[in-house]
Amino acid sequence: MNNSPLLSFYRDRFNSGYDLYDYFLSDISSDAASIGVDWAKIADRITWQNGAAGKVNATGKHLLKGFKNSVGIYASMEHKDGITYPLITLKNKGGAGDSVVINGFMMLVELYRDEKDNHFASAEVDTWKAKKAEREKDRARKQEAARAEQEREEARKAAHVQKELSQHRQLPVAGSFVYAAKKKIEDILNIVDARSGSDKHGNFISLLLQNVDGQAVGVQRIYDRHITKQDGSTTNKDFTWGMAKDGAHLVIGNLNTAELVYVVEGFATGASIFKAWQSIHRNVAVIVAIDAGNKLKVIADYKRTRPHLDLVDAADNDLWKCKQGKGNKGMLIAFELLGTYDGIKSVAPSFDKVDPAYQPTDWNDLHIHAGLREVLKQLKSKAATVKLDGDLFENALTKLAYISHEKAEISKMAKAAANAGMAMFPKYTPRDVINMIRLSLEHAKGRYDLTGVKRHIEKTWRAKVRSAQAPRSFSSRITDKKVRPEHITYTHYNQTRIDAKVRDHIQSLNGFVVVRAGKGSGKTKELITPGMWAMDKTAFFAHRVSLIGGAEATINKNKPQLTDNAGNLIPDTRSPVLNYQDDMINVMAQYATKLACCINSCLKGKFNPILNDLDALFVDEACQTLRHITCGGAIAYPVAVFNRLIDMMVNTKNQVLLADADANDTLVEFCELALHKRNAKRAEQGLPPEQIHVVELDSDSSYINVKYADSDSVFQKALDDLAAGQRVLVATDSSNEAENLFARMKELHPNKKGLLINATEKVTSKEAEAFCDKPDVEQLKYDYLIYSPAISSGVSLETKHFTRHYGLFRGVVAPSDALQMMHRDRNARDFIIGLATMHNKREESVINMWLGLLLANDNQLNINLNKDTGLIEVSTDDQQFDRFRIELSTQENAAKNDFASNLICIMCDEGYKVSRLDVSDLDIEKGKSEKEAARELVKAQEMARHLDQTTPDKPEYDDLKNKQTISVEEKARLNRYDIENQLQMEVNEDSVNFLRQGGIRKANNFELLQAKPSDLRQLDDTEKSYGVQPTDRHYFLKRQRVLRDFFEITGLNLKTGEGYVTPEKLQEAMDHITSGDNIHFFNNWAKLGGYIDPVSRKKSLKGFMDGLLAVLGLKVEKVQLGRKNAESDSRLRYGIKSDSWALMSGIHTRRQQASVTALKVELLGGEVIHVSPVNYIHNVKNEDQPETKQDKASRWVSLLKSSLNGLRIPLEYAKNLFNGGQWEAVLDGVDKGDVSISGLADKINKNFLSDYGHLYGKS
């Protein structure tokens, strides 16, 4: 059956038992419901272990209404004929002991038959289907009977509610009542709808209850004595039978005019708070939610219908019950509200002035025993405010002090605390979490068992590690032969280094080879180098310039010697590996047979002779290279480079090897894209198809010690170590952090020598360039060296020099890149890492990014997207680039979003000895102080640099822009030009700061806001007509629509910025902009104000407005009215600060006058590179370095060129030979007859043979 249609169907559609389970979840839930199990409530407890180990009991809340008997559930993943499927058995423990069996294999067969219309003869399947149909009929009968009974019950309830409401209205108004007198709240009876009456239980007051819409829903009766209810419980309160109690409440006062609105549990509590404020003539209202549990529902209703009504939770403080082990429910609800809603406030009474004998619990008790003045005093006091001002885990531990001693409650809350603690990793380790939970439960010692919580923590830890490693490892699709596709092979070696056995195996493979081998495995020296020399025409690619020089040197240095059959050395005429940045590259390229090149330059036409005829292709750091192409933003023509790489992979004759320590499924999928085309070509040639060969080696980091802490204290420790005489090496993913630390070290230690390598935006120094060329030699000059991602890979220090190794990371790069940055010094064994957070969420969902892109393109893209299954099919080759860009972007985003956790999880999983660095609060504060001093120092230096430089003219500006690297002074000159021209501002401190804060981008966005929609539509059409990829388009019109919709809905004046916005209007604008799939366009393609979680869709209104207007250079002001009015539940109003509007409007006007605009499509003068399988357009404007300029046309140059062509010597070689002005003198000599063309050609030929003849077999 291994090759059966059913197995193929399973692999194509699911390929996993869990995916099969997810697909049939609705059916499984329905079958479980037939025996009374609410599957949604029990599913997360299923472990899928075989036998008793995986048994779960469904009881109580896990059962549907009307079912009382517990149900035993046995669920496992079974295997049959290569198919993994769920098998679930549910057994009723009561009554007749009914059972239900859910067989995922049979469900798969039925689906296969239905979809494929093939006959799959199986009596077992037919029997299963018959029983299923019978169960469905029985379930339908039961459901219909239950539905009819429920309708009758609802009718009886509704009739009874109407009867009681009618009786309430007929009762006399309550002027007094013993309960009210006892509670000192008699005068409140005149303010609410309170009636007096009596029945068989005694005298009562009847309080009319309403829902959030103001509709009467029933009554609450408060008796003058305790009554016994039908269930045997005693109370002095009762409610209308059949009423919708959820959300029912009464209101004391007027919500529409109140300055303060409180929410309380009981009527007496609310009355005391109302009276307290009434005593000083303050207009308040109180919502009485009847009881503690209903308070949550009432507040939820008001937050939904009147979200801008400011509510204050007046909590009960059940401290006496808490001391008795019953828990403090009032405080727990306060904590829940604070954790759920932004801006809500909670206050709780203190009973220091009440005799403990009274055991007070609420504000009314305080009123009775301490007086109304004390109630008012506490309500106005900050001391009464309930606070949850710790981190997520600290807040969860705080709650544990207030829970009851019931085992179920302890287990539930301890597990919630465990989740919070693990979410804070690495601040808290798994051991920290369980120990701190145990300490917080000291008050309930002996009443709990944390074994289940400990298992939960261990399970969560394993899940975190799997998640962290997923983007840098292979899934079971690659490693498991049961599910591995036939076109993929997988070999795993239980060793960490590449030896002859591994090398020989890899070299024996044709087609695509993906190698995953970690640091120090010898990828370059032991695998790539022999491969480059094993065949004639070979090329090496990587994504960073710094990788190329080192690789070229290693490959050439380790060139294997040639021998004859007898083992004797023979002359070697093979050309060396040519570095694409060689000074003579234009001369040498046409003769080279081996090339080391940055992937950016694969489009250059001069490399076509070798790249169009490769025997073998090698790509190092292949995953990073693919990310660099699709997501890096540094390549002028990423789509062309993407397609060029695929083309080289398709046409390379023998082997294409892609190596990376973080090779993963996405890299294999990229190979599959190329393999499809390669095998199609082979089929045309009558050749058999090839496979993708995946080879994986182990990784061992057990010899490395890592201590981690916060970035502030580690910043300080690096300074301390340098002061103590240590030689310090610091890797950081933040360019600003690198600058700040370097400046501070230089200021504090002027006699020590340091180096900063921080090549952002081409800015570097000669010292940095020298270091990158010869790092092992240059490092010896320095006491401290700080580097940013400019050398995340490619630069290695082999000689031991630095004695302290630090890392300062915040998630600018992915964890895998941070690890590479750490290991530049091959001798380092001990690291101290400081971790910080970026605080900006990035999109992790591939589906969400595609949904936003589809919306941006009016659903006109050639993709098939299924929201339910998550299946995305790209139906045309021209969007494969977008597919990989989105896939890789989301992978990297997920890794960065939880950077610190992912980094430490990866290190723990790979054997690093990881522990937390012991730091004090003083260390942290000292670090913060040093960081602030460093920031101010760098800011002052940068400002002085900008003010001291001169502004270049246009030719100078262009020259600076075209330089490969520039100094910080030259960068300051470029910035001055941009301030004066792009921003049309004078250069001063304000304009320099504005530029640093993204001033040009803000001016561009403000221009977008004010532009004519017709002009933007034309720009969008231009991008489409030129074939700009969907992920590269600007979506000018749709982005403007977001901005203008905001102004139109809020009522802000588009031309003047005037006006004020109510919270309701602001909410309406945010809801409109983020409604439906609009949120995915806003988050991923609009780039207009940050990220909003697409599930909760929650963001503070001011935060949303701040973010959206900040991209326009505008600032928000918040004002508060003296009192509420009819247009809003809130006194708050929001507007645009007039000075910020004046600034941006002025810039916009001056730019218009100077014809400066960002609303244009950059298409390189109208040219678009169209990638062809053989010939590639060579465009000088997109070179990594300037090409040789064309010489002036003359008859002598033409004659000389003809002579040199016969000798196969490029004219460029001649010009370089006679440099420094000699070239013009030589031509002058020819023109005067002093120099002959033939003599000149002979001289050039002799020099060429002397320089390069030995490389090409010429003599």
Highest mean pLDDT among 584-593, 1020-1029, 1116-1125, 1183-1192: 1116-1125
Q: In terms of Cα–Cα distance, which of 756, 755, 751, 757 is closest to 725?
A: 751
3-state secondary structure at position 790: helix
State the amino acid at position 111 in one-letter form.
L
End-to-end CA, the chain: 67
pLDDT score recorded for residue 1251: 63
State the amino acid at position 141 in one-letter form.
R
- pLDDT per residue over 15-48, tens digit each? 788 888 888 988 899 889 888 899 988 887 888 8
What percent of the chain stands above pLDDT 70?
90
pLDDT score recorded for residue 1204: 65
pTM of the model: 0.80
User: What does the alpha-carbon distance between residue 562 and residue 592 come to, in Å, rounded to a whole number?
Assistant: 19
Task: Kindly report the average pLDDT of the chain as a whole number.
Answer: 88
Pairing of strands 728-732, 538-542: unpaired
Q: Lowest-pLDDT range, 442-451, 511-520, 966-975? A: 442-451
In the predicted model, is pLDDT for residue 1197 greater than 90? Answer: no
pLDDT score recorded for residue 1254: 46
pLDDT band at 3 (very low <50, low <70, confident <90, very high): low
Which H or E element spans position 224?
A: strand 216-228
pLDDT score recorded for residue 1220: 61
Burial bucket for residue 541 (CB in 10 Å: 0-12, 13-18, 19+): buried
User: What does the alpha-carbon distance between residue 75 and residue 50 come to, in Å, rounded to a whole number?
Assistant: 7
CB atoms within 10 A of CB 1166: 7
- pLDDT per residue over 61-84, tens digit each? 888 887 878 899 999 999 988 899
User: What does the alpha-carbon distance between residue 730 and residue 806 come to, in Å, rounded to a whole number?
Assistant: 5
More confident: 652 or 841: 652
More confident: 583 or 705: 705
Mean pLDDT of 533-542: 94
pLDDT score recorded for residue 45: 81
In the predicted model, is pLDDT for residue 1178 greater than 80? Answer: no
798 alpha-carbon distance from chain centroid: 35
More confident: 123 or 1048: 1048
What the chain holds in terms of domains, given with CATH numbers, is 5-119 (no CATH), 410-470 (no CATH), 476-562+572-697 (3.40.50.300), 705-842+891-922 (3.40.50.300), 986-1154 (no CATH), 1195-1253 (no CATH)
Question: Tokens 């532009």 correspond to what residue?
Answer: 1011
Radius of gyration of the chain from Cα atoms? 37
Q: Which of the 8 DSSP states describes residue 756?
A: E
pLDDT score recorded for residue 116: 65
pLDDT score recorded for residue 1201: 60
pLDDT band at 554 (very low <50, low <70, confident <90, very high): confident
Mean pLDDT of 1145-1160: 95
CB atoms within 10 A of CB 9: 18
User: What is the biggest distance separating any 2 CA atoms in the chain, rounded to whole angstroms?
Assistant: 134
In the predicted model, is pLDDT for residue 1043 greater than 80? Answer: yes
Mean pLDDT of 522-548: 91
User: What does the alpha-carbon distance between residue 16 and residue 10 come to, in Å, rounded to a whole number?
Assistant: 8
- pLDDT per residue over 893-946, tens digit each? 999 999 999 999 999 999 999 999 999 999 999 999 999 999 999 999 999 999
Q: In terms of Cα–Cα distance, which of 317, 835, 796 is closest to 553?
A: 796
Residue 376 is encoded by which pair of tokens? Answer: 């008012």
pLDDT score recorded for residue 837: 85
With beta carbons less than 8 A apart as the criterion, state whether 1030 and 882 touch: yes
In the predicted model, is pLDDT for residue 693 greater than 90? Answer: yes
Mean pLDDT of 494-506: 95
In the predicted model, is pLDDT for residue 875 greater than 90? Answer: no
State the amino acid at position 316 in one-letter form.
D
Mean pLDDT of 47-64: 83
pLDDT score recorded for residue 1190: 37
CB atoms within 10 A of CB 355: 10
Mean pLDDT of 959-980: 91
User: What does the alpha-carbon distance between residue 458 and residue 462 come to, in Å, rounded to a whole number?
Assistant: 6
In the predicted model, is pLDDT for residue 1182 greater than 50? Answer: no
User: What does the alpha-carbon distance between residue 1259 and residue 991 come to, in Å, rounded to a whole number?
Assistant: 63
User: What does the alpha-carbon distance between residue 1150 and residue 131 come to, in Å, rounded to a whole number?
Assistant: 79
In the predicted model, is pLDDT for residue 1163 greater than 60? Answer: no
pLDDT band at 1177 (very low <50, low <70, confident <90, very high): very low
Which residue stretches of 845-898 are H helix? 846-856, 880-897
Question: Tokens 């695509």 correspond to what residue?
Answer: 512
- pLDDT per residue over 986-996, tens digit each? 999 999 999 99
pLDDT score recorded for residue 140: 73
Mean pLDDT of 391-415: 92
* Cis preceding-peptide flag for 426 (omega within 30 of 0): yes
In the predicted model, is pLDDT for residue 146 greater than 80? Answer: no
pLDDT score recorded for residue 1144: 98
Q: In terms of Cα–Cα distance, which of 885, 899, 894, 882 is closest to 844?
A: 894
User: What does the alpha-carbon distance between residue 426 and residue 834 come to, in Å, rounded to a whole number?
Assistant: 12
pLDDT band at 573 (very low <50, low <70, confident <90, very high): confident
User: What does the alpha-carbon distance between residue 1239 and residue 1236 come to, in Å, rounded to a whole number?
Assistant: 5
Q: Lowest-pLDDT range, 185-194, 679-688, 1190-1199, 1227-1236? A: 1190-1199
In the predicted model, is pLDDT for residue 1175 greater than 80? Answer: no
pLDDT score recorded for residue 1181: 30
User: What does the alpha-carbon distance between residue 497 and residue 697 come to, in Å, rounded to a whole number?
Assistant: 7
Mean pLDDT of 525-542: 94
pLDDT score recorded for residue 1169: 33
Q: Lowest-pLDDT range, 96-105, 298-307, 665-674, 787-796? A: 787-796
pLDDT score recorded for residue 1198: 55
pLDDT band at 1202 (very low <50, low <70, confident <90, very high): low
Mean pLDDT of 590-606: 89
More confident: 584 or 972: 972
In the predicted model, is pLDDT for residue 1255 greater than 60? Answer: no
- Burial 474-512, CB ≥16 within 10 A → b, else e: beebbeeeebbeebbbbeebeebbbeeebeeebbebebb
Q: Which of the 8 DSSP states describes residue 525?
A: I
pLDDT band at 1257 (very low <50, low <70, confident <90, very high): very low
pLDDT band at 98 (very low <50, low <70, confident <90, very high): confident
pLDDT score recorded for residue 1225: 74
